[in-house]
Amino acid sequence: MEKGKLICTCMDVYESEITKSIKDNKLLTAEEVGDVTGAGTVCGECIEDIEELLRKSK
């Protein structure tokens, strides 16, 4: 599977992983994405990108 863009450089989490976990777990917030994937839990710089993916997945 195509990994897509590297979203979270701190935790090494790619776009496809985030999109998949949003779908599979019906995640609604960046915080929930952090709980499941670890993305956004370190420096927080990728939170905006995660929120963008959440908006796109609606």
d(CA 25, CA 36): 9
CA distance 42 to 23: 23
Q: Can you list the pairs that 12-16 forms with residues at least 24 positions away whose Cβ atoms lie under 8 Å?
A: 13/37, 13/38, 13/39, 13/46, 15/53
Min separation Cβ 20 and ligand FES, Å: 17
Region of 14-22, 23-31, 40-48 interacting with ligand FES (CB under 6 A): 40-48
Site for ligand FES in 7-36 (CB under 6 A): 8-11
39 binds ligand FES (CB under 6 A): yes
Asked whether position 46 contacts ligand FES by CB under 6 A, the answer is yes
- Binding site residues, ligand FES, CB under 6 A: 8-11, 39-46
